[in-house]
Chain A
């Protein structure tokens, strides 16, 4: 039985701490009956107690006696002692004239204390653990508005005696209510005071001057009572504060609060934003109010200054702290609702002004550039790049020798250099590049990143992804097979390179050694003319085109000029090497400060497991903004949150990176597995402060390369490829943007048109993003997003 009593006591106590509003709703239990055993006990023991009291010259009603007996678990001695004390006090206090039922504050408190002492009351006896720890590693924040639900507090039954509670319990309820009323009336009792202080503190936390400004959120309904005017007690000296903090328990979260509270009114719905559940204090606005420590200080100060007797210092601290969670909690609610604060405080940020540092160091920095190698299949892109890496020392000769040995065994000796780039078994076996390969090398004056694109028409999507990460294009043309290239992927790649925004291009006229006659200058000239024509037609500026004759297989005029005499004499005189052409362009590659000041955008081109230290890493090109270690980021469209743990540029760690750089970001998140599951290649990594829009359709003004009809298409934005459809051809436009014809039935090749495109999946996009539209393995057109459409809601159902 005492066990049940204990439960009740705790509940009673918690009531004091947490519940104020719902107090009136308390329903006394009515169905309960005493067991026959209990009744027998009462019958036998009541007269005994009465007799004892009589001896002491005191009177007590049956009820009081029974109550005492009940509390002391049939211990006659204790009950008598208690009642004696009670009566005595009553006489002393001068309130003895009152009827028993109307009990004073003193009695109530005394009774409670005695009860606690006798019952061996401990809060630990029922500790369910800190409520907030139940939801410890669940990420709740950034939940879309649409799915934020109402939390209806579970109707937790108050623990009561076995088989329901007795009339005594009813009485207890009654008393408790009175006690509450008495508390409000603020009769001076040390214990009561403390609780009151708690309330004051809490209201302070909520009062407008301590709140972050102008944030409207639905607070839990329980915060209904008007704030009393803030009463700031004098802060106490420092040393006492320290003592208090050592006792501090972690404040429960709002959610924990809600759960641990017993609601006796099931109809009372509490609207609770999921954001509010975050107990984190990382919000920048959290500091605009008083810090939790300040509040502790104040609470402590208040409790001490008012508690004159200081008879129970431990208890007062405990109470002062217990009063605290509410105030801290209130603060949290305000703080977290103020802004979507990320939940990863794991990595410390240096909070550098990256833009400033970057512009300041501009003079001392080596120029860096990324170039994509494009061209028709089998024109020698990978081999040329292998040569480039070998000659610049990025790859060792012994690796090449090993490749050569292996390649010769497979009867493909000429592919040895390409194997530097083509590392997968598939690619080596077939001698075709499938996916973009990324390598770094440095020359005397600049740092480069190679993006080796596949030439085969099936892998054009990969090429689009690669080209959209590059600053410079390197078009590799087989001097002997220009025709096949112009019909095939040479043309398409050039179109696409322009479509994704490349402006400068180096044309490597390859396989000059294989020409008949070798290194034929006339051949180079005629090929140059053809290619230049194609490039200028596509929209490349004449000044931004460089043509270089070379031989990837032998390495002539790649990194070093060929022999100055003999067949190649004209080359050394009239042309620069491929490397120096690239260096020229690299020098003029600079990131505008405008793009640095924009919000961070990085399209994820790869997700991988780098090492056990970095379980999840992403790579890509920063298209806007800056990033530094410790920065909180959001990945769209999944809205996954993460923080930057480390940054690599060109395989070496750095502290920050800026727009235009190809980076690898090592991420950390609360739930790495969830992050891995939800993030896809093509997703957009954004700064958490302004994530990119996610839409389901958009309008684009594009130039068509093939006749364009309404129908199914693939939409490519950089590395992202989505199935979709051109839903309507809005109008044909001329170069200046004027309308030529509304609602054409078809957009013929070479015309500009405004088209509405719907995608079957969420598309993270910005106005001005470059988009390529393909169908059936052909590029239909390319342009920029001119208007974002409907916000993405979810997978559209239907067929």
Chain B
């Protein structure tokens, strides 16, 4: 995302910001920035009906700049499109005040956003994150085993499952080549699907991961196919092989944190999230009283100042900030602010990544405390009862 201009008051958070999304990933940032009640200004194509003097009506499409008060957001992760619906809040000659319009944010078209309750710390962080040019790495990850392949696009902030290929793989049986021929066919399908997804002009690194040897077998297959093709040859050097526990998408988290992968992938960002989550889960498995999850538990810990200087980390999923209720959202912003105040580290995990999904399964918020608190859950329950 490119920042065009901004006029945000640091103290009050009032003001507006004009941005221009440059790549599909930016729609994800916009989705995380825009909230219900915000004011959004962008260009739109609107059908306008005009009535001529003789009384006949004609409709034509006009490109006009609309300002709407957001009522609904709809993000299509597969197509990376964001549709924002709302009521028109500034009248112009084509559109009446209060009529509804759905803005489809477009690449390279500016939009201006003004937050309803001002820009809070989380919103500012998201904004900062979104205009950060460094975090733009992407790669393809193909998770496969014999008979199942998941082709994913991994970006700094999202893991998008682009295609799933599944076939019945007959078992090996004496005197039958059924298995081998079916396997060849399966590889061919994965190969074709992968090439259909990849933009050859701007090829990203490709990670092949599987249990067993399927990934390296597929790499061989890929090599044999692509060797003679000038266009495809540059792809070969971008392929990395890794081990995965299974071919299911959630195994990707484990793959991304493995050392071989972090080295070969230019940006370590995607694995950074995985690592934080991993440390936390490891502590939890050991039943370390410094690791806690659950909204009440974490809030109680934050109140006590246990997520502070010297190792306190708050892990929070960004889906919590997408809540439709401003009250709920404020609750989490308050939590983030209080941890920051206490000197703790705040990590906002993307719900579109596997590590973020793991966090979501743990209610979306977790914390590593500075000092251990035993039976925090019972304390919380006691307060309630």
Nearest-neighbor residue (CB-CB) of A424 within chain B:
B172
Contact between A424 and B180 (Cβ–Cβ < 8 Å)? yes
CA distance A775 to B217 in the complex (A): 24
Residue A681 at the chain B interface, CB threshold 8 Å: yes
CA distance A425 to B184 in the complex (A): 12
> A727 and B361 in contact (CB under 8 A), knowing A430-B213, A435-B172?
yes
Contact between B213 and A746 (Cβ–Cβ < 8 Å)? no
Min CB distance A778 to B, Å, is 8
Report, as a range, how many residues of chain A touch the other chain.
35 or more
Q: Which of B168, B254, B285 contacts A709 (CB 8 A)?
A: B285
Q: Which of B169, B212, B357, B377 contacts A456 (CB 8 A)?
A: B212
Residue A458 at the chain B interface, CB threshold 8 Å: yes
B273-308 vs A: 1/0 string, CB under 8 Å? 000000001001111000011100100000000000
CB contact list, A108-139 vs B, under 8 A:
none
Contact between A707 and B357 (Cβ–Cβ < 8 Å)? no
Residue B178 at the chain A interface, CB threshold 8 Å: yes
CB contact list, B166-188 vs A, under 8 A:
166, 168-174, 176, 178-180
Residue B195 at the chain A interface, CB threshold 8 Å: no
Chain B residues whose C-beta falls within 8 Å of the C-beta of A721 in the assembled complex: 246
Contact between B168 and A607 (Cβ–Cβ < 8 Å)? yes
> A777 and B245 in contact (CB under 8 A), knowing A608-B178, A745-B293?
yes
Residue B362 at the chain A interface, CB threshold 8 Å: yes
CA distance A569 to B179 in the complex (A): 45
Residue A714 at the chain B interface, CB threshold 8 Å: yes
> A709 and B362 in contact (CB under 8 A), knowing A607-B170, A746-B287?
yes
Q: Which of A458, A607, A707 contacts B284 (CB 8 A)?
A: A707
Chain B residues whose C-beta falls within 8 Å of the C-beta of A710 in the assembled complex: 361-362
Contact between A777 and B180 (Cβ–Cβ < 8 Å)? no
Residue B358 at the chain A interface, CB threshold 8 Å: yes
Contact between A799 and B285 (Cβ–Cβ < 8 Å)? no
Chain B residues whose C-beta falls within 8 Å of the C-beta of A261 in the assembled complex: none
CA distance A608 to B287 in the complex (A): 47
Min CB distance A450 to B, Å, is 12
CA distance A775 to B245 in the complex (A): 8
CB contact list, B245-269 vs A, under 8 A:
245-246, 248-251, 254
B144-184 vs A: 1/0 string, CB under 8 Å? 00110000000000000000001011111110101110000
Contact between B281 and A709 (Cβ–Cβ < 8 Å)? yes
Contact between B211 and A436 (Cβ–Cβ < 8 Å)? no
Contact between B172 and A458 (Cβ–Cβ < 8 Å)? no
Contact between B77 and A423 (Cβ–Cβ < 8 Å)? no
Contact between A606 and B170 (Cβ–Cβ < 8 Å)? yes
Chain B residues whose C-beta falls within 8 Å of the C-beta of A726 in the assembled complex: 361
Contact between B377 and A745 (Cβ–Cβ < 8 Å)? yes
Q: Which of B245, B246, B248, B358 contacts A711 (CB 8 A)?
A: B358
CB contact list, B217-263 vs A, under 8 A:
217, 243, 245-246, 248-251, 254
Q: Which of A425, A430, A456, A711 contacts B361 (CB 8 A)?
A: A711
A695-739 vs B: 1/0 string, CB under 8 Å? 000000000001101111010000001010111000000000000
Contact between B248 and A723 (Cβ–Cβ < 8 Å)? yes
Residue B351 at the chain A interface, CB threshold 8 Å: yes
Chain B residues whose C-beta falls within 8 Å of the C-beta of A424 in the assembled complex: 172, 179-180
Residue B352 at the chain A interface, CB threshold 8 Å: yes
Contact between A609 and B213 (Cβ–Cβ < 8 Å)? no
For B, the interface residue count at a CB cutoff of 8 angstroms equals: 44
> A714 and B168 in contact (CB under 8 A), knowing A727-B361, A799-B77?
no
Contact between A609 and B170 (Cβ–Cβ < 8 Å)? yes
Contact between A434 and B245 (Cβ–Cβ < 8 Å)? no
Min CB distance B13 to A, Å, is 29
CB contact list, B69-86 vs A, under 8 A:
77
Nearest-neighbor residue (CB-CB) of A711 within chain B:
B361
Contact between B294 and A723 (Cβ–Cβ < 8 Å)? no
A604-641 vs B: 1/0 string, CB under 8 Å? 01111100000000000000000000000000000000
Contact between B211 and A459 (Cβ–Cβ < 8 Å)? yes
Contact between B362 and A711 (Cβ–Cβ < 8 Å)? yes
CA distance A437 to B246 in the complex (A): 21
Main secondary structure of the interface of A (DSSP, over half): mixed
Chain A residues whose C-beta falls within 8 Å of the C-beta of B179 in the assembled complex: 424
CA distance A440 to B294 in the complex (A): 54
Contact between A707 and B171 (Cβ–Cβ < 8 Å)? no
CB contact list, A394-445 vs B, under 8 A:
423-427, 430, 434-439
Contact between A723 and B362 (Cβ–Cβ < 8 Å)? no
A730-769 vs B: 1/0 string, CB under 8 Å? 0000000000000101101000000000000000000000
Min CB distance B220 to A, Å, is 11
Q: Which of B77, B147, B250 contacts A712 (CB 8 A)?
A: B250
Contact between B362 and A435 (Cβ–Cβ < 8 Å)? no
CA distance A599 to B266 in the complex (A): 57
Residue A555 at the chain B interface, CB threshold 8 Å: no
A658-686 vs B: 1/0 string, CB under 8 Å? 00000000000000000010011100000
CA distance A606 to B171 in the complex (A): 6
Contact between A461 and B358 (Cβ–Cβ < 8 Å)? no
Nearest-neighbor residue (CB-CB) of B249 within chain A:
A723
> A723 and B250 in contact (CB under 8 A), knowing A606-B171, A608-B171, A746-B285?
yes
CA distance A707 to B294 in the complex (A): 18
Contact between A746 and B254 (Cβ–Cβ < 8 Å)? no
CA distance A423 to B179 in the complex (A): 10
Contact between B174 and A423 (Cβ–Cβ < 8 Å)? yes
Chain B residues whose C-beta falls within 8 Å of the C-beta of A799 in the assembled complex: 77, 351-352, 357
Chain A residues whose C-beta falls within 8 Å of the C-beta of B173 in the assembled complex: 423, 438, 608
Residue A776 at the chain B interface, CB threshold 8 Å: yes
Contact between B169 and A681 (Cβ–Cβ < 8 Å)? yes
Q: Which of A608, A679, A714, A775 contacts B170 (CB 8 A)?
A: A608
B119-156 vs A: 1/0 string, CB under 8 Å? 00000000000000000000000000011000000000
Nearest-neighbor residue (CB-CB) of B179 within chain A:
A424
CA distance A709 to B285 in the complex (A): 8
Chain A residues whose C-beta falls within 8 Å of the C-beta of B180 in the assembled complex: 424-425
CA distance A643 to B115 in the complex (A): 64
Contact between A709 and B284 (Cβ–Cβ < 8 Å)? yes
Chain A residues whose C-beta falls within 8 Å of the C-beta of B146 in the assembled complex: 434-435
CA distance A461 to B210 in the complex (A): 13
Chain A residues whose C-beta falls within 8 Å of the C-beta of B297 in the assembled complex: 745
Chain B residues whose C-beta falls within 8 Å of the C-beta of A438 in the assembled complex: 171, 173
CA distance A180 to B351 in the complex (A): 71
CB contact list, A761-799 vs B, under 8 A:
774-778, 799
Contact between B250 and A745 (Cβ–Cβ < 8 Å)? no
Nearest-neighbor residue (CB-CB) of A460 within chain B:
B211
Chain B residues whose C-beta falls within 8 Å of the C-beta of A707 in the assembled complex: 284-287
Chain B residues whose C-beta falls within 8 Å of the C-beta of A775 in the assembled complex: 245
Contact between A435 and B246 (Cβ–Cβ < 8 Å)? no
CB contact list, B47-70 vs A, under 8 A:
none
Contact between A725 and B287 (Cβ–Cβ < 8 Å)? no
Q: Which of B172, B285, B294, B354 contacts A423 (CB 8 A)?
A: B172
Min CB distance B279 to A, Å, is 14
CA distance A712 to B284 in the complex (A): 15
Q: Which of A435, A459, A774, A776 contacts B254 (CB 8 A)?
A: A776
Contact between A436 and B362 (Cβ–Cβ < 8 Å)? no
Chain A residues whose C-beta falls within 8 Å of the C-beta of B178 in the assembled complex: 608-609
CA distance A609 to B178 in the complex (A): 8
Min CB distance A403 to B, Å, is 12
CA distance A712 to B249 in the complex (A): 10
Known pairs A439-B174, A680-B166; list 18 more (Cβ under 8 Å): A427-B172, A430-B213, A461-B246, A606-B170, A676-B168, A681-B169, A707-B284, A709-B281, A711-B362, A712-B354, A714-B246, A721-B246, A745-B284, A745-B292, A774-B245, A776-B251, A777-B245, A777-B254
Question: Can you report 22 residue pairs joining A to B where beta carbons are below 8 Å apart?
Answer: A423-B173, A423-B174, A435-B171, A458-B211, A458-B245, A606-B170, A608-B176, A676-B168, A707-B284, A707-B287, A712-B250, A723-B250, A726-B361, A743-B377, A745-B284, A745-B297, A745-B377, A774-B246, A775-B245, A777-B211, A777-B245, A799-B357
6 closest residue pairs by CB, A with B: A777-B245, A712-B250, A458-B211, A608-B170, A707-B285, A723-B248
